[in-house]
């Protein structure tokens, strides 16, 4: 057996813990990523096959051709994220502070939708919003929707679907960060002349920032690449970039464009996260938790 000094063993120990994770990342993330990068720079067609040619034009073509879907994806995802935050914050707040012995029940209710398949849930929404469904009839009754207006196949339906499907991803991190806040800090704030609203603004909210950040990422990132909601609740006029990528890959077999679109989306998301972190104050995010 190899004999190592204590200091040496200490320095090797962390690798033992992160090793499996690194291996997993290398196998299922880095390698496919490199592979796709390679594919995105190939040219050819499905019949004759593709060859690597440093074809950067695929990127510029993809951007100009699918600009609309890109913007729509970011817009829908951002709207849904904001809606999720608005709905989930009071939900998480109530669950963390006011639910008492119903707290676990509330948490169960929040994650309950996960027990059913994503696609199935969205299909259920299709039924709920359908043209001869109960909801539309009632909305027409009260005049919120005109007699020829629809719910299904609209932008509203797609955004509502995304919001619904990603709500738990927002609610759970928010709950965790709120639950962690020592309530005595709120008492201290009130002792120091802060009204309940000021105490919320100056203490609860800053300390909940890591949860807001995590929840927003967990909602925004998958929402950007989502195609299920647009496919089931919208029409081609509501298609997002996920729908384009899916059809390029699976129907048209235009692999380079699909790969290029994926990379462009990824860079958009990374830039978005960077700006968002800056806005919230990255120092706050890491230190508020201390």
Binding mask 169-188 for other proteins (x = CB under 8 A): -------------x-xx-xx
- Residues near 221 by beta carbon (within 8 Å), at least 6 away in sequence: 269, 273
- Give the tokens for residue 58: 């695929």
How are beta strands 42-45 and 49-52 bridged, if at all?
A: antiparallel
Q: Which is nearer to other proteins, 120 or 197 (CB)?
A: 197
Does 189 engage in binding with other proteins (CB under 8 A)?
A: yes
Euclidean distance between CA atoms 87 and 162, whole angstroms: 13
Using rule CB under 8 A, residue 4 touches other proteins:
no
- Mutual angle of helices 255-280 and 57-93, in 10-degree steps: 40
147 in Cβ contact with 140 (< 8 Å): yes
Residue number, 133 or 281, with CB nearest to other proteins: 281
| Min CB(171)–other proteins separation in Å | 22
Residue window 15-54: x/- pattern of binding to other proteins, with contact defined by CB under 8 A: ----------------------------------------
The reply on whether position 131 binds other proteins by CB under 8 A is: no
Q: How far apart are CA 70 and CA 240, in angstroms?
A: 7
Nearer to other proteins, 65 or 187 (CB): 187
Under 8 Å between Cβ of 73 and 265 = yes
Residue selected from 203, 212, 240, 244 as contacting other proteins according to rule CB under 8 A:
203
With binding defined as CB under 8 A, does residue 71 bind other proteins?
no
Which of residues 38, 45, 67, 195 is near other proteins by CB under 8 A? Answer: 195
Contact 190, 199 (CB under 8 A): yes
Q: How far is Cα of residue 59 from the mean position of the Cα atoms in its chain?
A: 24
Q: In terms of CB distance, is 131 or 182 closer to other proteins?
A: 182
How many other CB atoms sit within 10 Å of the CB of residue 212?
Answer: 22
Q: Binding of other proteins at residue 282 (CB under 8 A)?
A: no
Residue 15 or 193 with smaller CB distance to other proteins? 193
Q: How many residues bind other proteins (CB under 8 A)?
A: 21
Q: Minimum distance between the CB of residue 219 and other proteins, rounded to whole angstroms?
A: 24
Alpha helices, H only, the chain: 6-25, 31-40, 57-93, 103-111, 118-129, 134-141, 155-179, 183-191, 196-199, 205-224, 228-233, 241-246, 255-280, 282-287
Q: Give the nearest distance from C-beta 191 to other proteins in angstroms.
A: 5
Binding site for other proteins (CB under 8 A): 182, 184-185, 187-195, 198, 202-203, 206-207, 284, 287-288, 290
């Amino acid at each position: 057996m190899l004999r190592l000094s204590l200091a040496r063993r200490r320095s090797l120990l962390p690798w033992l813990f992160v090793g499996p994770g690194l291996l997993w990342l290398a196998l299922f993330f880095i390698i496919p990523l490199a592979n796709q990068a390679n594919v995105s720079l190939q040219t050819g067609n499905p019949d004759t096959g593709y060859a690597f040619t440093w074809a950067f034009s695929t990127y510029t073509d993809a951007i100009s051709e699918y600009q609309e879907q890109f913007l729509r994806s970011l817009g829908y995802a951002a709207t849904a994220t904001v809606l999720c935050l608005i709905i989930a914050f009071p939900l998480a707040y109530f669950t963390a502070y006011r639910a008492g012995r119903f707290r676990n029940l509330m948490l169960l209710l929040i994650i309950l939708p996960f027990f059913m398949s994503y696609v199935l849930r969205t299909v259920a929404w299709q039924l709920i919003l359908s043209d001869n469904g109960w909801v539309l009839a009632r909305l027409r009754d009260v005049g919120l929707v005109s007699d020829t207006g629809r719910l299904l196949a609209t932008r509203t339906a797609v955004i509502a679907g995304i919001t619904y499907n990603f709500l738990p991803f927002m609610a759970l991190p928010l709950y965790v960060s709120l639950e962690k806040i020592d309530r005595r800090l709120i008492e201290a704030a009130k002792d120091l002349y802060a009204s309940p609203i000021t105490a919320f603004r100056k203490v609860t909210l800053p300390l909940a920032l890591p949860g807001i950040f995590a929840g927003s990422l967990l909602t925004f990132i998958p929402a950007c690449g989502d195609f299920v909601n647009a496919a089931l609740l919208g029409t081609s006029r509501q298609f997002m970039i996920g729908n384009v990528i899916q059809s390029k890959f699976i129907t048209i077999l235009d692999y380079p464009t699909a790969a290029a679109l994926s990379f462009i989306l990824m860079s958009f998301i990374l830039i978005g996260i960077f700006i968002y972190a800056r806005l919230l104050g990255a120092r706050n995010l890491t230190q508020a938790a201390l």
